[in-house]
Amino acid sequence: MSRPNISGRALRARLAPVALGSLGALWLAAPSAGEAVSSAGASGVAGGARARTAFRGVRGRLDVLDGQAASFAGALLPARAGRLVELQRRERHGWRSLAHSFTGGHGRFRLRFSPHGLRGELLRVLYPGDRSARASARRVGVLSVFRLAGASWYGGGGSLACGGWLTGSTLGVANKTLPCGTLVTLRYGARSVTVPVIDRGPYVAGRDFDLTEATKRALGFEGTGDVWSSR
């Protein structure tokens, strides 16, 4: 077999030293133009070859009572057990972790936390990534936290404490302390309305709101009972 005719200068150009400490140096052929170079990290995964990830089927209830647990479930793909997933809340200067879990079979996960305080919170699920897969995030939505409030309703006509006149189509609530015009979101069963404080009352122990007739109809509320309130 004939040997390629390589000059001494060309041969030196194709050799690169690799230090081996006290053992001296080992000379390896450097790649020529057009040859691919790949390096493996500590995990043995080639650099730049991390898999893409994505969340699928993330679901959970976004309306909860103060102090009760909110739960969200879904799957991280490609499916693999043991990957860290976080539930995070959007804050003024970034995202804050509320809970974490690890994926199980088929990449599925479940995250739970108990909110405290009546405020809306924008949530997301996050996979921070590792040496084998890229980071991924998906927004879940705005979590609304409510409290139970005693309610009744009233109708008829007449003037309102916050100004204007009460009619059968007036949307609003009466409350003893909230400033006039304060918007309150109320839930009853599967229905929800957001209405302003327009009047004062009710003056019956255990009741927080008097709903106008139009508000009562919008909620499907009858008589007296508890509603979910954002205030």
Please write the tens of the pLDDT for every residue from 155-203.
Answer: 988 999 999 999 999 999 999 999 999 999 999 998 999 999 999 999 9
The per-residue pLDDT for range 126-157, each reduced to its tens digit, is 999 999 999 999 999 999 999 999 999 999 88
pLDDT at position 223 is 84
pTM of the model: 0.67
State residue 116's pLDDT score: 83
Q: What is the mean pLDDT of residues 71-82?
A: 95
Averaged over 42-60, what is the pLDDT? 74
Q: Range of 168's domain? A: 155-229
Task: Categorize the per-residue pLDDT at 14 as very low, low, confident or very high, splitting at 50, 70 and 90.
Answer: very low
Q: What was the pLDDT predicted at 156?
A: 85
Q: Is it the case that residue 222 has pLDDT exceeding 90?
A: no
Query: Distance between CA atoms of 139 and 228, rounded to whole angstroms?
Result: 25
Show Cβ contacts of residue 160 under 8 Å, excluding neighbours closer than 6 positions: 166, 170, 172, 198, 199
Percent of the chain clearing pLDDT 90 (strictly above):
67
- Which CATH number do you get for residue 59? 2.60.40.730
Q: What pLDDT score was predicted for residue 18?
A: 38
- Does the pLDDT of residue 37 top 70, yes or no? no
- If asked whether residues 137 and 59 sit together in one domain, one would say yes
What is the CATH classification number for the domain harbouring 175?
2.40.40.10
Residues 93 and 170 in one domain: no
Residue 41: predicted pLDDT: 33
Q: Is there a domain that residue 31 lies in?
A: no
Domain boundary pick from 145, 171, 198: 145
Domain-located, residue 178? yes
pLDDT surpassing 60 at residue 32: no
Among the listed residues 162, 172, 160, the one whose alpha carbon sits nearest the alpha carbon of residue 213: 172
pLDDT for the residue 98:
94
**Shared-domain flag, residues 179 and 209:** yes
153 and 221 in contact (C-beta within 8 Å)? yes
What's the number of domains the chain is made of?
A: 2
Give me the pLDDT at residue 48, please: 58
- The residue that leads in pLDDT, 134 or 9, is 134
Whether residues 77 and 107 share a domain: the answer is yes
What pLDDT does residue 13 have?
Answer: 43
Q: Residue 193 falls within a domain, yes or no? A: yes
Instruction: Flag whether 218 is in a domain.
Output: yes
